[in-house]
Chain A
């Protein structure tokens, strides 16, 4: 079977790649495209380490075929920082909301997606939104607190 040619947009930049029909988006990101920020944890949509956005919606890139990216907008952790780190990234560093770091790109993508939709989430809302991001190190508390504090800072900055 011939490879499929896919034209897509990744972090705002037009991108083309070749893939096998059953290859996951995660495989293509980490392999040919060299975007290794998205991690493979479980490969079955349970852990969230491979979280990306597809047309602005948070999805697991392990549960998406690369071929499905045709004509769509993909956002990965590599696109999160601009000239400076995103406020979530800064806060995660400041509050040590990570230990081994494998889950962190996915957690950051998920947290960013939450704050775009809900700039003032309750702790309950943060915990439920991030329920699809497993972390074996932190016990989640530092992550949740860092997200809450970033949200407060970003609201403050907007006023």
Chain B
């Protein structure tokens, strides 16, 4: 029999205290779709499992006004999809999170878990980066915020202090004419891991792009914020010249690996293609907002 301990604290303070007390031997349980698989495969063997789903801040979606939202770290993908306004204001964030796994996985898997799993190919992360999401973390030294792109450090590793727990994501207020989109390249129709993933969020004013952010996944050790691609889009009417320049910026930012899912050359090429397609979807959505 095992000596694993299961805890389901009701408050964040209790969770932080319990997690810090494990001195690195604890694991946070949100949806469990990565953690339980890793435990069964023997990849991780936590002494303590801290289930955060009894903490209401972790499992709730809150509207903060003007299109802003606060999404708890453990909110399941299915709950994001079913939210009446979130998918209208942030369709890219929702569609990216909903690409993770099957219906059954969507019933549990969370954006917080996807971020903390720290795979370079996590689908929700490039969309959150494009959205300009700010992550709230809480630890023994208190609460702090950091941009989502600053959270992953390397594959499987995070820039969090010992004992810190991701609490949720804050999506900023949304000016009129804004929208977002996420596309990924996979060799089959569904249920696969991104070869490249691209999130674009932008604002249009009379056809001119006034704000943009681009997130790229699976092309570097961590998900990238591609500022040069955003710069190429801002001020343009998303004409071919601007899109070509932004696509080139995406390709220039790529530092991928060769693996069974794609070669360096292929991933780099696709990053530019996806930028153009994703920007077009985001722009079409923004025009109808």
Contact = CB atoms under 8 A, between A and B. Distances in A.
B78 interface: yes
Contact of B103 (A1, A4, A129): A129
Interface string B224-262: 000000000000000000000000000000000000000
Interface stretch (B34-42, B151-159, B207-215, B278-286): B34-42
Contacts of B49: 21-22, 65
Contact of A68 (B39, B41, B53, B105): B53
Contact of A20 (B1, B31, B76): B1
A22 B78 contact: no
A148 interface: no
Interface string B69-97: 00000001010000000000000000000
Contact of A60 (B29, B39, B40, B105): B105
B101 A132 contact: yes
A59 B4 contact: no
Nearest to A59: B107
Given A45-B101, A63-B32, A57 B107 contact: yes
Interface string A18-52: 00111010000000000000000001110010010
Interface in A98-152: 110, 113-114, 128-133
Q: Which one of B8, B102, B191 has the highest number of Cβ atoms from chain A below 10 Å of its Cβ?
A: B102
Contacts of A21: 2, 4-6, 49
Contacts of B101: 45, 132
A67 interface: yes
Given A45-B37, A65-B6, A57 B76 contact: yes
A144 to B, nearest CB: 14
Nearest to A67: B6
Q: Which one of A64, A113, A114, A130 has the highest number of Cβ atoms from chain B below 10 Å of its Cβ?
A: A64
A48 B190 CA distance: 15
Contacts of B37: 44-45, 63
Contacts of B31: 63
Given A1-B4, A21-B5, A68-B53, A63 B102 contact: no
B51 A68 contact: yes
B104 interface: yes
Contacts of B1: 1, 20
What's the dominant secondary structure at chain A's contact region? mixed
B6 A58 contact: no
Contact of A132 (B40, B51, B191): B191
Contacts of B3: 1
B36 A24 contact: yes
B108 interface: yes
B2 A20 contact: yes
A134 to B, nearest CB: 10
Contacts of A1: 1-5
Contacts of A22: 2, 4, 6, 39, 49
Given A45-B104, A68-B29, 14 more contacts: A1-B4, A43-B40, A44-B37, A45-B102, A58-B103, A58-B107, A60-B104, A63-B32, A63-B104, A63-B108, A68-B53, A131-B191, A132-B102, A132-B104
Interface of B: 1-6, 8, 29, 31-33, 36-37, 39-41, 49, 51, 53, 76, 78, 101-105, 107-108, 190-191
28 contacts: A1-B2, A1-B5, A21-B4, A21-B49, A22-B39, A24-B36, A44-B37, A45-B36, A45-B102, A51-B104, A54-B108, A57-B76, A57-B78, A57-B107, A58-B103, A58-B107, A60-B104, A60-B108, A63-B32, A63-B108, A64-B108, A65-B36, A65-B49, A67-B8, A67-B51, A129-B103, A131-B190, A132-B104
